[in-house]
Structure 1
Amino acid sequence: MTIDTSGWRAQTLHRREEATRMRRRIFDRAIVLLGLPVVVLGGCATAPSERASADVTPFGLVQVAARTEPRQLDAAPETRILALDPDRISEADVRTTLASAPAPRIVLVHGGVVGVYLLMESFAKFLVGMGYPEAKIRDPHDGAYSQNPYGSSERLAGELAWYYEHDAMRPMLIGHSQGGMQTVKVLHELAGSFGDRVAVWNPVTDRREERYTIVDPITHVEKPVVGISVAYASVVGAGGVEFFAPSVWNMAGRLRIIPDSVDEFTGFAIAGDFVALTAPGGATSADEYRPNGTAVVHNVNLPSSYNHVFVPNTQHLADDSRMRDWINRYETAKAADLSNLPEGQNDNVLWAAGVWHDIKKHWCLEAQRLIRARQLDAAPASQSAQLRETTGD
């Protein structure tokens, strides 16, 4: 099912002067035309087995110690976290309750045009402004806010496994444009679509580890990287001319199929997107993302006034307290009340609100999952067995 928000444009977006809009369209198209050779040439490069990183100083603020245990919580914060409704997390819940809990790693993958990483950096800063821990977004090796879409998808899958093993919380993965294609490709790496073995990759040292399994921090059972799942993934503007990059040719026939390596997935399309080649009326049923198993998959059409290149530009939304409040009340695109959207700059608010809602939800779910697992470990054997029957773990 596709949720279509394009009919709300008149209610929600401030009208711009026609001359300004025309200049922006010309500028946007120029960026894409100039960047297309970069897409092709960048995709032709074979991703190295290791990044050239020997001379890079690890990013001190977010350094991750090897095999550290997530911090323990007192009983009171645990009780408050377990009482949260994951689908209805307020700003107060984020800043006073979830802030006391560990947070899953979020991996952002930016688009393929030169300089577009700055727009994903804007989205990262939006997340920080909304209350997400910056250390769980920035790369622990070099401090980058996002990953290159032309890097090795196998390496990124190995990193996600490493993060899960060390954080005891399943990561989240969000991609824009070419980065959206890389995001879905990583899901297929974890699902075994390209092979039955993926090596663990240490993101702190930026080196491949000589192993293909991790110890599951919840069940304490050794398991292969292939078969591990992430909690949430989302893409916007994936497909179309991005298939020019040879690095994603093996995604033909796979891009719209979401495997079981993710619990919940949301695919955003922009009506009339000339890069992703989306029809003026939005994504059709032929363009919808669909599960090939148990993953929960959503499709959302964004208005044609949204721009393929600039949709991650969202930091300004977190700087406005009224806009933050509206975003934190957002539940789904279909149910959103846009009549009370605050005045002011609201570019890309529907995309930002949708992704933030899902991030809060899975932050809460992963924290609750971790707390329940610790309670099971701490309980006497007989009580633990009863709890496992109750929770299904």
Structure 2
Amino acid sequence: MRPSWLPLVAALLAGCATIPRHGPAAEDNGRPSLRANPREVRALMALDPAAVTDRQAQEVLARFPAPRVILFNGVVAPVRMDRMAEFFIARGYPRASFVDPVSGRMSHSSRTGSRQWAGALPWYFEQEGLRPVLIGHSQGGMMVSRILHEGAGTFGPGLRIYNPRERRFEERRRFRHPRTGRMVDVAAYRTPLASAIATGKMMRVLLGQWKMVGPLRKVPDNVEVFIGVSVEGDLIGSDLAGAGSTHTYRPTGSARVENLVLPRTANHLNLPALTRDPGDPRSLLAGRLWRELKRAWCAELQAAHRGPAGR
């Protein structure tokens, strides 16, 4: 009897063959300025990033821009991270921080170039003053991990700045730190928050992504907070055929790594459709990501308004 999961694997492989390869793009899309009146800045600086309430996010943080959130889809086309974006937008996160200003999309293919994205992160920071957040589902989670490893030099040195507006690597390996004005090596860039949701080594093997089998669960130092999410009994997100997916991510150094394990009632394919329903296991993921997203939003804004004293 043919295993029930084989058709799904076939669909994944077919998806890999049909997804176009294209890199990120960016143009000015009217994002609000970091500048604000003194009263708004005082209210911002009084917040505790680790304990931002929804009301504070809507009444204080929403007066400022928010870090760009770069979402990566898995290879099954109908399951898109746009649904996750809409959840956070409904909670008060600015839509402009999700939308690609050129394509208008809120999520990206996990078949795009990881090295381009790694080079684009410091470019966005240089241009916008806030460091982007990375979140990926299934193969998109692998993409998040691979981008971090590209920036950390796992696959070799020499990463250059990538200009997503012009879709090309620039002839430089340093970026101007927007808070200090100093030129900084691209290797010193750190992502404030990243999350890989339901991704595993087994699919890396089946899809021929051998380069990521070893590094997948290792979290490098160029991310501050990393949330690894797995589902009990999830074959697609497991590391070995027939095994559960409760495999842990581990820091190689100073990154703060959290492993969130969802119950087996969570459906791998529906994870991007977050909900607040306490009876749905996706609410656990929604709550954790939303708390960390608010923390990163607040901390990035506070650092920007401290100027050279900020990170």
Q: TM-score, normalised on structure 2?
A: 0.89
**Aligned pairs (5 A) from 1:241-390:** 241-243=202-204, 244-246=206-208, 248-277=209-238, 283-284=245-246, 287-314=247-274, 317=275, 323=276, 341=278, 346=280, 348-373=282-307, 388=309
User: For the Cα contact (< 8 Å) 1:159–1:203, is it kept in 2?
Assistant: yes
Deviation at 1:347, TM superposition (A): 5.8
For 1:169, the equivalent position in structure 2 comes to 130
User: For the Cα contact (< 8 Å) 1:262–1:295, is it kept in 2?
Assistant: yes
Deviation digits for residues 105-135 of structure 1 (CA, Å, limit 9, x no counterpart): 1100110123323xx1111111111111111
Larger Rg: 1
> Which deviates the most, 177-186 or 155-164?
155-164
Task: Provide the C-alpha distance between the structure 2 equivalents of 1:300 and 1:145, rounded to a whole number of angstroms.
Answer: 25
For 2:50, the equivalent position in structure 1 comes to 87
Deviation digits for residues 205-239 of structure 1 (CA, Å, limit 9, x no counterpart): 43433332211112222123233111000111111
Give, as a single letter, the amino acid of the residue that structure 2 aligns with 1:87. Answer: A
**Aligned pairs (5 A) from 1:214-253:** 214-243=175-204, 244-246=206-208, 248-253=209-214
User: For the Cα contact (< 8 Å) 2:16–2:75, is it kept in 1?
Assistant: no
Which of 62, 69, 72 in structure 2 is aligned with 1:99?
62
Number of matched pairs: 306
For 1:332, the equivalent position in structure 2 comes to none
For 1:7, the equivalent position in structure 2 comes to none
Give, as a single letter, the amino acid of the residue that structure 2 aligns with 1:293. Answer: G
Task: Provide the C-alpha distance between the structure 1 equivalents of 2:284 and 2:169, rounded to a whole number of angstroms.
Answer: 38
Deviation at 1:294, TM superposition (A): 0.5
Counterpart secondary structure, 1:273 = coil
Judging changes above 3 Å, is the alpha-carbon distance between structure 1 residues 278 and 350 closer, same or farther for their aligned structure 2 residues? Answer: farther
Give, as a single letter, the amino acid of the residue that structure 2 aligns with 1:302. Answer: L
Flag the structure with more relative contact order, 1 or 2, with Cα contacts below 8 A and sequence separation at least 6: 1
Unmatched 5+ stretches in structure 1: 1-25, 318-322, 327-340, 377-387
Task: Provide the C-alpha distance between the structure 2 equivalents of 1:186 and 1:42, rounded to a whole number of angstroms.
Answer: 22
Task: Provide the C-alpha distance between the structure 2 equivalents of 1:83 and 1:252, rounded to a whole number of angstroms.
Answer: 44
Q: Which has the higher helix share?
A: 1
Q: CA RMSD, aligned part only?
A: 2.7
User: For the Cα contact (< 8 Å) 2:265–2:281, is it kept in 1?
Assistant: no
